[in-house]
Amino acid sequence: EISEMSERSKQNVAHGLAWSYYVGYLKIVLPRLKKSMEEFSRAHPNLLACSKTWKLHILFPLSCNVCDDLEKADSNIQYVTDLTETTLARGGIKKRVYKHSVYAIRDEENQLWHCAMECATPLQTLYAMSQDECAAFSREERLEQAKLFYRTVEEILKGSKECADAYRLIAYEEPEEADTHFLSREILWHLRQEHHEEIAMPEGNHVHTPSTTLDSAELNLQISVSDLPQPLRTDGF
């Protein structure tokens, strides 16, 4: 029985992290993001000319290797500034500060693309669990949980009206061989997609998805219907 409970608790890790991430963070910051982006755009009209990019771009490295300094991860990514801070009283903390960073991503032609961007930090928990003997979390389980975490966050946000159009989730698997500008290319692909959405591409024009970027269909492969996020029960069980 203990073994079964242990296995089930592993399956619930991604769900718990996803709901915590949404309730404790995304649900707080995303509804306020549009206003911050509008203020930033007025102050810097040339940087965020495409309103489709007025979102929080959230990186989901499925390796769970979350980079704390994006500039060190890829020299084509440069920190620009922070959006206006949001200060709230949360959990006994009088003035808890929430803020997002704006980055410039340099493309192959030296053009700069700007966006608000950060990593999905709960993935650090999955990585730490796979490094801790007490958690008994294998690398394979970590990858499956990372995919389930992404899918669950995606499903939760799809059902959240208050967070609509305020985010773009970017899930990817890093290449086995070292690639110094892999990350910037992944982000640029998404930014270009957003620009295409604003311009309204003619029918029949399709942009190829980079092989390392995963869409929901690919992430579905190892996830059963029972793994999808379910409504929270209110009967005390």
- Residue 36 corresponds to which amino acid? S
User: Tokens for 228?
Assistant: 């999808």
Write the CATH number for 11: 3.40.50.12100
Residue 236 lies in a domain: no
pLDDT of residue 201: 46
51 pLDDT above the threshold of 70: yes
At 162, the amino acid letter reads E
Long-range contacts of 209-215 (CB under 8 A, 24+ apart): 210/185, 210/186, 212/172, 212/173, 212/174, 212/175, 212/182, 212/186, 213/170, 213/171, 213/172, 213/186, 213/189, 214/62, 214/171, 214/172, 214/173
Nearest of 82, 81, 33 to residue 54 by alpha carbon: 33
190 domain residue, yes or no? yes
Helices (H), the chain: 2-21, 27-43, 70-73, 123-131, 139-158, 182-199, 216-219
**Domain of 48?**
2-227
Of 199, 174, 196, 198, the C-alpha closest to 185 is 174
Q: How many domains does the chain have?
A: 1
Position 234 in a domain: no
Tell me, yes or no, whether 170 lies in a domain: yes
Could you tell me the pTM of the whole model?
0.81
Domain assignment present for residue 235? The answer is no
106 located within any domain? yes
Asked if residue 128 belongs to a domain, the reply is: yes
Select the more confidently predicted residue: 210 or 51. 51
Assess if residue 233 is contained within a domain. Answer: no
Task: Indicate whether 232 pLDDT > 50.
Answer: no
* Rounded Cα gap, residues 162 and 166, in angstroms: 9
